[in-house]
A and B are shown apart, each in its own frame.
Chain A
Amino acid sequence: GAVVSQHPSWVICKSGTSVKIECRSLDFQATTMFWYRQFPKQSLMLMATSNEGSKATYEQGVEKDKFLINHASLTLSTLTVTSAHPEDSSFYICSAGGLFQETQYFGPGTRLLVL
């Protein structure tokens, strides 16, 4: 199957700083990438959908100014958590899909801890 990577896998930061998480599709072109947030022992919560070259579509209740998403190429999307606070601590997962993929492929996740 296709491979999606995320970087970093772990990040610890101080409150008020911004953190950027990268999501890359390594062996296919992803026209669409998705960003999820997962709380312990819960399902995935879709935060936003991004299509290459256009603005992301955010789910209701997700602050677009807080979670900046950029999908500048067919293989890279970034999520920036701006002015992070402890309540932003979570497991963030991206997935990538497109016209020629049988399903979405998920990255390994990024665990963010804001102190």
Chain B
Amino acid sequence: GDSVTQMEGPVTLSEEAFLTINCTYTATGYPSLFWYVQYPGEGLQLLLKATKADDKGSNKGFEATYRKETTSFHLEKGSVQVSDSAVYFCALILAGETSGSRLTFGEGTQLTVNP
């Protein structure tokens, strides 16, 4: 079945450090891939997405590239800020499915950025 695996957290960085959160997936065909962010006490917000191989999603300085050959969608940011402290979830929807279909989530990675 389909699954998403994220790097284990928590991740603690200093402000302006480089961030990578690894995400790999298992799915039939080419799913759509997403990164969601959850700030403390809040619901999830869509951070970025990619719907086909080699697509790069980007938003707020974060980037992730859909790598078919490695079945990966790693999240990166060149210089993190304290305000980026949150939990980050990688997720997928199966190929051909709409947003009316269930998302498969990774376990989430807690990021803490210290000043």
Q: Which residues of A contact B (CB under 8 A)?
A: 1, 4, 6, 31-32, 34, 41-44, 46, 49, 51, 93, 95, 97-99, 101-109, 111
Is residue B77 within 8 Å, beta carbon to beta carbon, of the partner chain? no
Is residue B99 within 8 Å, beta carbon to beta carbon, of the partner chain? yes
Q: How far, in whole Å, are A42 and B109 apart by their CA atoms in the complex?
A: 9
A41-B110, A43-B89, A106-B36 known; A101 vs B98 contact (CB < 8 Å): yes
Is residue B105 within 8 Å, beta carbon to beta carbon, of the partner chain? yes
Q: How far, in whole Å, are A13 and B3 apart by their CA atoms in the complex?
A: 36
Q: Which of A6, A49, A98 contacts B43 (CB 8 A)?
A: A6
Please tell me which stretch of B13-21, B22-30, B44-52, B67-75 contacts chain A, meaning at least 4 of its Cβ atoms lie within 8 angstroms of it: B44-52
CB of A109, distance to nearest CB on chain B (Å): 4
Chain A CB within 10 Å, residue with most, of B32, B98, B99, B105: B99
User: 1/0 per residue B72-115: CB within 8 Å of A?
Assistant: 00000000000000000100010000111111011110100000
A103-B34, A103-B93 known; A98 vs B100 contact (CB < 8 Å): yes
| A10 and chain B: residue at smallest CB distance | B41
Q: Please give, as numbers and ranges, the residues of chain A lying within 8 Å of B49 by CB-CB distance.
A: 102-103
Q: How far, in whole Å, are A97 and B98 apart by their CA atoms in the complex?
A: 8
A34-B102, A98-B98, A103-B49 known; A108 vs B42 contact (CB < 8 Å): yes
Q: How far, in whole Å, are A99 and B110 apart by their CA atoms in the complex?
A: 32
